[in-house]
Amino acid sequence: MSVPLLKIGAVLSTMAMVTNWMSQTLPSLVGLNGTVSRAGASEKITLFQSPEEGWQLYTSAQAPDGKCICTAVIPAQSTCSRDGRSRELRQLMEKVQNVSQSMEVLELRTYRDLQYVRSMETLMRSLDARLRAADGSLSAKSFQELKDRMTELLPLSSVLEQYKADTRTIVRLREEVRNLSGSLAAIQEEMGAYGYEDLQQRVMALEARLHACAQKLGCGKLTGVSNPITIRAMGSRFGSWMTDTMAPSSDTRVWYMDGYYKGRRVLEFRTLGDFIKGQNFIQHLLPQPWAGTGHVVYNGSLFYNKYQSNVVVKYHFRSRSVLVQRSLPGAGYNNTFPYSWGGFSDMDFMVDESGLWAVYTTNQNAGNIVVSRLDPHTLEVVRSWDTGYPKRSAGEAFMICGVLYVTNSHLAGAKVYFAYFTNTSSYEYTDVPFHNQYSHISMLDYNPRERALYTWNNGHQVLYNVTLFHVISTAGDP
Check residues 26 and 470 and name the one with the higher pLDDT: 470
Which pLDDT score, from 0 to 100, does residue 322 have? 97
Same domain, yes or no: 301 and 438: yes
> How many domains does the chain contain in total?
2
Residue 17 in any domain: the answer is: no
Which of the listed ranges 45-49, 130-134, 390-394 does the model predict with the highest average pLDDT?
390-394
CA dist., res. 167 & res. 221, Å (int): 21
Check residues 278 and 471 and name the one with the higher pLDDT: 278
Residue 76 in any domain: the answer is: no
Same domain, yes or no: 444 and 333: yes
Residue 383 in any domain: the answer is: yes
Check residues 240 and 141 and name the one with the higher pLDDT: 240
Residue 268 in any domain: the answer is: yes
Same domain, yes or no: 295 and 419: yes
Residue 181 in any domain: the answer is: yes
Q: Which of 182-186, 291-295, 339-343, 456-460 has the lowest mean pLDDT?
A: 182-186
Same domain, yes or no: 409 and 465: yes
Same domain, yes or no: 430 and 292: yes
pLDDT, mean of residues 30-42 = 37
Same domain, yes or no: 220 and 183: no
Average pLDDT, the chain: 77
Q: Which of 31-45, 245-259, 320-334 has the lowest mean pLDDT?
A: 31-45
Q: Positive or negative, the Cα torsion across 432, 435, 440, 444? A: negative
Residue 476 in any domain: the answer is: no
pLDDT tens-digit profile of 368-398? 999 999 999 999 999 999 999 999 999 999 9
CA dist., res. 348 & res. 294, Å (int): 4
- pTM for the model stands at 0.59
Domain that holds residue 321: 216-469
In the chain, the percentage of residues whose pLDDT exceeds 90 is 48
Same domain, yes or no: 283 and 384: yes
321: helix, coil or strand? Answer: strand
Q: What is the DSSP string of 242-256?
A: E--TTS-TT---EEE
Same domain, yes or no: 166 and 305: no
pLDDT band at 77 (very low <50, low <70, confident <90, very high): very low
Checking if the pLDDT of 226 tops 90, the result is: yes
Same domain, yes or no: 181 and 221: no
Same domain, yes or no: 365 and 321: yes
Residue 352 in any domain: the answer is: yes
In one-letter notation, the amino acid at residue 110 is T
Which pLDDT score, from 0 to 100, does residue 40 have? 38
pLDDT, mean of residues 208-222 = 66
Checking if the pLDDT of 138 tops 60, the result is: yes
Which pLDDT score, from 0 to 100, does residue 201 have? 72
Same domain, yes or no: 258 and 163: no
pLDDT band at 248 (very low <50, low <70, confident <90, very high): confident
CA dist., res. 140 & res. 157, Å (int): 26
Q: The domain that contains 388 carries what CATH number?
A: 2.120.10.30
Residue 384 in any domain: the answer is: yes
pLDDT band at 343 (very low <50, low <70, confident <90, very high): very high
Same domain, yes or no: 178 and 282: no
If you compute the radius of gyration of the chain from its CA atoms, what whole number of angstroms results? Answer: 25
Checking if the pLDDT of 294 tops 90, the result is: yes
Checking if the pLDDT of 242 tops 50, the result is: yes
